[in-house]
Amino acid sequence: MNTTKIEWAEKSVNILTGCTPISTGCRRCYAAGFGRRLKAEYLKRAPIVDTPQNRANPFALRYWPEKFAEIAARKKPARIFMDSMSDWFHQDVPGDILRNLFTFMVRVSRHTYMILTKRPDRMYGYVLANRGLFPDGVVPGHIWLGTTVEHQSVIGRVDVLREIPAKVQFVSCEPLLGPLELDMRGLSWIIVGGERALGARPMDINWARSLRDQAVREGIPFFFKKHSGCGEKEGQDQLDGCQWHQFPTVNGRVI
């Protein structure tokens, strides 16, 4: 389990690695770059779909179940981003692995788990078909389910997310690549940030302002990560001179 630079989490754990691009937000995928850097380590493990092509591809899907023990060993509760290096709901992740992931998170409930996907259709289908894994058939408040909406062309992901029986549903608008008409009804949290990479596509500050103002109006916690660009600059984590680091609450408290 690693301490993460992702501002909205305390730790990150990668029980899965690897993915394939699905939308424009994937163009500068941070995880793919990491896969290239850790190629030697990744290639030692057989890919989930074991083909010669995948064996040579460091960003093919791989499963690292030994990471469960690291999370279980940590007694102090932490807010953990589950998989910054993959997308759990990729079509090639077997249902058995998803079952292991959810069963573990339900059982080890002292931590808060944050799961973000660009494939909420499969997340929806999986949760609905496996409601028996969750108390009262609802994903409990220490498991936060989120989807990424980087552009208006994928806004439909939010409607799918909203249908999932879960206490905490959040939307990450990162990298924000255009203005969004976002229906925030029923959502627990909005994250906004620009693309962070060499040659990053710019985020207009007014796109971020508009989402912040709407979240404030609707009483939804808002988290602003960083403006687009690369390198460290003073004030890059501020919007109009303020740091916005709000979190969802369940029964009146951040969990």
Written as six digits, the tokens of 157 are: 């992901």
> Judged by CB under 6 A, which stretch of 20-28, 125-133, 171-179, 185-193 contacts ligand SF4?
20-28
Minimum Å gap between C-beta 6 and ligand SF4 is 13
Would you say 73 and 67 are in contact if contact means Cβ atoms under 8 Å apart?
A: no
Nearer Cβ to ligand SF4, position 112 or 148? 148
- Residue (89 or 134) nearer to ligand SF4, CB: 89
Binding mask 76-115 for ligand SF4 (x = CB under 6 A): ----------xx----------------------------
Stretch that binds ligand SF4, among 23-31, 98-106, 122-130, 244-252 (CB under 6 A): 23-31
Closest contact distance (angstroms) between CB of 87 and ligand SF4 is 4
Which of the stretches 28-36, 50-58, 105-113, 187-195 binds ligand SF4 when contact is defined by CB under 6 A? 28-36
160 binds ligand SF4 (CB under 6 A): no
- Told to check if 195 binds ligand SF4 by CB under 6 A, we report no
Select the residue interacting with ligand SF4 from 1, 29, 38, 48 (CB under 6 A).
29
| CA gap 168, 165 in Å, rounded | 9
145: burial class by Cβ within 10 Å (0-12, 13-18, 19+)? buried
- Quote the CA–CA distance of 120 and 145 in Å, as a whole number: 9
Within a 10 A sphere around the Cβ of 101, how many other Cβ atoms?
Answer: 22
Complete edge-to-edge strand list for the sheet that includes strand 11-13: 2-3, 11-13, 79-82, 112-117, 139-148, 166-173, 189-192, 222-224
Residue 196 binds ligand SF4, judged by CB under 6 A: no
Structure-token pair, residue 83: 């998989």
Q: Which residues contact 101 (CB under 8 A, 6 or more apart)?
A: 15, 82, 88
38 part of the interface to ligand SF4, by CB under 6 A: no
Chain residues that interact with ligand SF4, rule: CB under 6 A = 19, 21-22, 26, 29, 31-32, 86-87, 118
